[in-house]
Chain A
Amino acid sequence: MSDSKRNLITGPGINLDGNDVDTDRIIPARYLRCVTFDDLGEHAFEDDRAQLKAAGQRHAFDDPERTQARVLLVDRNFGCGSSREHAPQALMRWKSGIAAIIGESFAEIFFGNCVALGIPCVTATQDEINKLKGVVAKDNKLQVTVDLNELRASAGSVSIPLSIPDGARKQLATGRWDSSAELLEGSGETAKRAKELPYFAHWRA
């Protein structure tokens, strides 16, 4: 299980500014017309990117210097809206693959989807994130390290404290974020609990 541990993630950073970035923006719904997740990476933030381009600006995900990025830095309530796992799937399949996200806060379902894919979403205060964003903005090769044991993120001269609910931290750090095996281990107890619920057999005793 050692290769599934997500206790230490290192890679170049990429900054994405803005609160309440919803999953429709991360991956527009038209790309959900698919039966595999394979081709989602290239469409991450597609509409936002096109609109900024049309306005003569550039989206972070269009920066040719940032294609090696592994650690995404965001603001408040990232991933709100739809439960589509296609959103983290698109991020982990974009270029080098986003492997960790640091933000002020995350939407609940998005956070859970990320855990299920082995992507830590860790939180820090706005001030601390801005410090990290500051050094990342200046150097596209600067390595950002997310340490789930020490609960710190560091890059160059900046080191900030991180938070993540302890259950998720343990799952990720010990490599047990893929919960299928553990849930299957409980199948005997599951069957017992199901029998105790009056409705489970459609109210037939």
Chain B
Amino acid sequence: MGKNLYDKVFEKHAVRKLDSGQYQLLMGLHLIHEVTSPQAFSMIRERKLSVPYPERTFATCDHIIPTHNQLRPFKDDLAEQMLIELEKNCAEYGIRYLSPKSGEQGIVHVVGPELGLTQPGMTVCCGDSHTSTHGAFGAIAFGIGTTQVRDVLATQTLAMGKLKVRRIEVNGKLLPGVYAKDVALYIIQQLGVQGGVGYAYEFAGDVFDRFSMEERMTVCNMSIEGGARCGYVNPDATTYAYLKGRDYSPQGAAWDGAVKYWDSIRSDSDAHFDDVVKIKAEDIEPMVTWGITPAQSTAVSSPLPAADSFSEQDRPLIEEAYQYMGFAQRAPLKGQKIDVAFIGSCTNGRFSDFEEVVKYLRQSGKKVQAGVRALVVPGSQKVRERLIEAGYDKVFTEAGFEFREAGCSMCLAMNPDKLVGRELCASSSNRNFKGRQGSPTGRTLLMSPVMVAAAAVSGTVADAREVFAIQN
């Protein structure tokens, strides 16, 4: 029986077996940002350790950076201090810092792929759970904690056990108005937020074969929301076309050698999987979360589920979610008034995410409803630059959206972009946890960027297929 990609890449990076039975695993690419790295550098200093492979670590700032006004010093002293620490640490240890001045700054999971740093057959880690995003390239990519960031800085390795691998095939053709985000939310709804614990996910099938790299990134990004520490797609011609010519992609004669390596780590046609799940693309509708975990979602056209349709064990959390959100069981979510609309994040902050929205804003000529605060936050400076070159920034601002600077923004409440009180936000981000968007009582509805735009122009949760007359 053949091997899957996870096993092949793991074997190529396993340095040795440790006494505990775990493996010492070499990290091919280490990404750091300002939130989870300062304590790691402090530990390096305390223990008088060195950083032997600084050329395999890259830094950016994304979580705390304001998206309205990025002039230094930041108004928030704590944020300013964190950025100073990052700058100091990178300078001291010879780590390349993709600073705002470089024009290459952005969300770590947007800039890694954009610069060609993320490549097939690599191990990729970062002190950030959405590192699973990089699996879209056929890399084994996962989030780690700060103590592990220390270990990677000091040794370029981690102590890790092997995961099982579940292949998730989505076959058929997605319906009009259904996007990668809907596929991600549907998978999590079907398998649950802890369904992936102990697994790496291999995403496959017609739908993933046809997906662009940016669509693959959206789904891999949310692997962790389904409990899977990493998720990947086998590299193919789409992957290679994306990588060709990027700053850190292999150049000239090295390219052919690279493609050979990348082809070699694809799952074999007779590869073993610990589990296989098959999903029909046609079953997926535009999705919206209604609760406080990413699995608590519904097709936008369906009424909200009744608590008694869940198992007894799940019911307390369902009831807690209804209480927190203030929604009624069995009621439609469509028509629910929203206060904020946010398009951005490491899930949906890439060029094609915005381009798709622009298409429908132009076609419909619709404007953001009065009373709705609508934010467009590009995932990186390069994404922002491309949007401006295409004139899309004007489409957004003329439609009533604020067009911001690059950063994590309203995904996670560590910068000035936050919900206020019990505001309800239609959001293209990845987490609808209680308090996630900055107000301890704020409420988040996760959905695709086009669905966020439909909500923004309707002032309520809406079915984008109706609002924008989306057909085939």
* B79, B155, B441: the one within 8 Å of A190 (CB): B155
B198 at the interface (CB under 8 A from A): yes
Interface size on B, residues (CB 8 A): 87
Q: Does the CB pair B52–A112 fall under 8 Å?
A: no
A166 at the interface (CB under 8 A from B): yes
Cβ contacts A187-205/B at 8 Å (1 or 0 each): 1011001101111111111
CA distance A19 to B319 in the complex (A): 12
- Nearest Cβ in chain A — how far from B125, in angstroms? 10
Q: Does the CB pair B194–A105 fall under 8 Å?
A: yes
* A24, A36, A113, A193: the one within 8 Å of B436 (CB): A24
B151 at the interface (CB under 8 A from A): yes
A145 at the interface (CB under 8 A from B): no
B397 at the interface (CB under 8 A from A): no
Q: Does the CB pair A81–B431 fall under 8 Å?
A: yes
CA distance A204 to B225 in the complex (A): 37
Q: Take A24-B436, A33-B414, A83-B143 as given contacts and tell me if A170 and B20 are in contact as well, using a CB distance cutoff of 8 Å.
A: yes
* Nearest opposing residue in chain A for B42, CB measure: A36
- Nearest Cβ in chain A — how far from B148, in angstroms? 6
* Nearest opposing residue in chain B for A184, CB measure: B155
Binds A, one of B156-164, B175-183, B337-345, B462-470: B156-164
Q: Does the CB pair B154–A183 fall under 8 Å?
A: yes
Chain A residues, Cβ within 8 Å of B320 = 18
Q: Does the CB pair B42–A186 fall under 8 Å?
A: no
Chain B residues, Cβ within 8 Å of A112 = 144-145, 148
CA distance A10 to B293 in the complex (A): 33
B122 at the interface (CB under 8 A from A): yes
Q: Does the CB pair A179–B316 fall under 8 Å?
A: no
Q: Does the CB pair B440–A51 fall under 8 Å?
A: yes
CA distance A77 to B193 in the complex (A): 8
- Nearest Cβ in chain A — how far from B162, in angstroms? 10
Q: Does the CB pair B15–A186 fall under 8 Å?
A: yes
Cβ contacts B134-153/A at 8 Å (1 or 0 each): 00000000111111101100
> Using a CB-CB cutoff of 8 Å, which residues 40-58 of chain A contact chain B?
47-48, 50-51
B307 at the interface (CB under 8 A from A): no
Chain A residues, Cβ within 8 Å of B66 = none
* Nearest opposing residue in chain B for A54, CB measure: B441
Q: Take A83-B36, A197-B12 as given contacts and tell me if A190 and B434 are in contact as well, using a CB distance cutoff of 8 Å.
A: no
CA distance A36 to B47 in the complex (A): 16
CA distance A174 to B26 in the complex (A): 24
- Nearest Cβ in chain B — how far from A176, in angstroms? 7
Chain B residues, Cβ within 8 Å of A80 = 193-194, 227, 293
* A108, A174, A183: the one within 8 Å of B159 (CB): A183
A8 at the interface (CB under 8 A from B): no
- Nearest Cβ in chain A — how far from B443, in angstroms? 13
A1 at the interface (CB under 8 A from B): no
Q: Does the CB pair B150–A180 fall under 8 Å?
A: yes
B92 at the interface (CB under 8 A from A): no
* Nearest opposing residue in chain B for A191, CB measure: B52
CA distance A186 to B26 in the complex (A): 10
CA distance A205 to B47 in the complex (A): 33
* A34, A108, A189, A198: the one within 8 Å of B198 (CB): A108
B8 at the interface (CB under 8 A from A): no
A182 at the interface (CB under 8 A from B): yes
Q: Does the CB pair B435–A193 fall under 8 Å?
A: no
* B122, B131, B154, B440: the one within 8 Å of A184 (CB): B154
Chain B residues, Cβ within 8 Å of A34 = 78, 82
> Using a CB-CB cutoff of 8 Å, which residues 16-34 of chain B contact chain A?
16, 18-22, 24, 26, 28
Chain B residues, Cβ within 8 Å of A18 = 316-317, 320
* Nearest opposing residue in chain B for A183, CB measure: B155
Chain B residues, Cβ within 8 Å of A51 = 440-441
B56 at the interface (CB under 8 A from A): yes
A138 at the interface (CB under 8 A from B): no
CA distance A82 to B224 in the complex (A): 9
Q: Take A80-B227, A113-B147, A171-B20 as given contacts and tell me if A199 and B28 are in contact as well, using a CB distance cutoff of 8 Å.
A: yes
Q: Does the CB pair A24–B254 fall under 8 Å?
A: no
B residues in contact (CB < 8 Å) with A: 12-16, 18-22, 24, 26, 28, 35-36, 38-39, 42, 47, 49, 52-53, 55-56, 63-64, 76, 78-79, 81-82, 85, 119, 121-122, 127-129, 131, 142-148, 150-151, 154-159, 161, 193-194, 197-198, 224-225, 227, 229, 248, 250-251, 254, 257-258, 261, 293, 313-314, 316-317, 320, 412-414, 431, 433-436, 438, 440-441
29 contacts between A and B (CB under 8 A): A18-B316, A24-B434, A24-B435, A28-B413, A28-B435, A33-B76, A34-B82, A35-B39, A51-B441, A76-B313, A81-B431, A88-B145, A106-B197, A107-B197, A108-B198, A116-B147, A116-B151, A167-B21, A167-B161, A179-B151, A179-B159, A180-B150, A182-B19, A183-B157, A183-B159, A184-B154, A189-B24, A194-B26, A199-B258
